[in-house]
């Protein structure tokens, strides 16, 4: 899966930075990201990738999609 849309990439970046740098997310932060159409679109695409492509486990216990 590739994210080419800058708005989607920016929304995902902001979410990940907020999660990584915050000790605690408040409900306003959660509502902002939960209601984001960009985050919701990314979530749907990631879910589709996971459900339609086989996964493999690497030695570091990370799950990765197999390339076809």
Which tens digit of pLDDT belongs to each residue from 19-68? 888 888 788 888 888 888 888 888 888 888 777 876 665 555 555 555 54
- For residue 60 the two structure tokens come to 């570091």
Residue 33, pLDDT score: 81
**What SS3 state is found at 56?**
strand
Nearest to 8 by CA among 40, 32, 35: 40
Residue 66, pLDDT score: 58
Nearest to 10 by CA among 52, 56, 55, 41: 41
């Amino acid at each position: 899966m590739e994210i080419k849309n800058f708005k989607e990439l920016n929304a995902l970046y902001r979410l990940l930075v907020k999660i990584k740098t915050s000790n605690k997310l408040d409900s306003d932060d959660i509502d902002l990201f939960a209601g984001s159409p960009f985050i919701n679109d990314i979530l749907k695409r990631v879910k589709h990738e996971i459900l339609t492509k086989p996964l493999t486990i690497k030695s570091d216990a990370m799950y990765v999609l197999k390339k076809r």
